[in-house]
Amino acid sequence: MANRLGGARKPVALVTGAAGLIGRYLLATASRWAPEWDVRGLTRQDVDLTDEASVSRIWQEHQPAAVIHCAAISRPAVCEQDPELARRVNVEATVLLASLADKIPFLFLSSDQVFDGRQGWYVETDRINPVNYYGETKAEAEQAVLANPHHTVIRLALTAGTSQTGDRSFVEDMRRSAVRDHRLTLFTDEFRSPIPAGVAARAVWELIVCERPGLYHLSGTERLSRLDIGKALATWYPELSSGLQPGSVAEYRGPQRPPDLSMRCEKIQRLLSFPLTGFRHWIASRPRDGADLWDYAMTDLNP
């Protein structure tokens, strides 16, 4: 296949959820980390992933050679409020795309929420046992994707970044809450292993290139409480520092929360050309030159 200038056409990589947090960073970093691909993003405005006819039309239009499926209803509370929509988007749309991608690489972004949080430091072979409906939909979709030995699932940890809509990242949520309420209660007994979105995007591109399908965890290398995460972010965002106060998940009255979703990522680390580091180390290593922390991440991801 050749273009009108006579050169070979690049294979097309489709990125669903292109307006979301990870999708945005995948598109922004593609020229650096995936120059061999013609990367095309799909948003809700481009296609309704729950509409089989629309998806088939888009598929014929783009004829992808790889798919990175980021689109999801990713807020647990929204999944609890509208489980029917959550299942259509998180499970049924994933099954449809995976079936269309039967003969090509298909990478599905799952979540640490497939675990119940009773153990911590999870590895890929640990038993999954989600405690919320969001986790249930991701677990069901994982099973469908991994039925094809050529496909890949990445369980992604809590991810830091900035989104176009300003409401897709926990960093954005925390800053907004601090400004609105002048205080932010963060649990000392709920643990995650967060990772910057730019770092996650680079890892995804490298995994696509190395063509090693399977199940992987992608996270930072530190197990941090919610309060630890807030304190680390306060070094960049001073509006957080004065309002941080400790709390306990035992006092929380909402839907059940997994207490410890820290993950180990040695399996994917063996395939990457750069080291995954701790979240606090990564933040501390960024020069405060006036650039936004997460936009900086899209141009220089060396730890």
Using 50, 70 and 90 to split pLDDT, how confident is the model at 167? low
How much is the mean pLDDT over the chain?
88
Using 50, 70 and 90 to split pLDDT, how confident is the model at 166? low
Using 50, 70 and 90 to split pLDDT, how confident is the model at 213? very high
What are the φ and ψ backbone dihedral angles of 102, each rounded to 5 degrees? -55, -35
Mean pLDDT of 71-92: 95
For residue 302, pLDDT over 90 is answered with: no
Mean pLDDT of 224-238: 88
Question: Looking at residue 91, what DSSP letter applies?
Answer: I
Give the per-residue pLDDT at 287.
56
Using 50, 70 and 90 to split pLDDT, how confident is the model at 165? low
For residue 70, pLDDT over 60 is answered with: yes
Estimate to the nearest angstrom the gap between the alpha carbon of 152 and the chain centroid. Answer: 14
Using 50, 70 and 90 to split pLDDT, how confident is the model at 6? very low
For residue 157, pLDDT over 60 is answered with: yes
| pLDDT tens figures, 255-289 | 788 999 999 999 999 999 999 999 998 888 765 54
Using 50, 70 and 90 to split pLDDT, how confident is the model at 149? very high
Record the tokens describing residue 273, joined without a space.
């050309």
For residue 235, pLDDT over 90 is answered with: no
Residue 268: which region, alpha, beta or left (left: phi > 0; alpha: psi -120 to 50)?
alpha
| pLDDT tens figures, 109-138 | 999 999 999 999 999 999 999 999 999 999
Separation of alpha carbons 136 and 128, rounded Å: 9
Model-level pTM? Answer: 0.90
Give the per-residue pLDDT at 142.
98
Q: Return the percentage of the chain with pLDDT > 70, whole number.
A: 88
Using 50, 70 and 90 to split pLDDT, how confident is the model at 158? very high
Give the per-residue pLDDT at 300.
44
Mean pLDDT of 167-190: 78
Domains of the chain: 12-164+194-223+264-297 (3.40.50.720)
Q: Return the percentage of the chain with pLDDT > 90, whole number.
A: 69
Record the tokens describing residue 207, joined without a space.
């995994």
Give the per-residue pLDDT at 141.
98
Give the per-residue pLDDT at 152.
98
Separation of alpha carbons 206 and 274, rounded Å: 10
- The CA-atom distances, in angstroms, between 276 and each of 15, 135, 265, 281, 302 are 23, 25, 8, 10, 10
Lookup result for tokens 């770092």: 199
Mean pLDDT of 237-249: 83
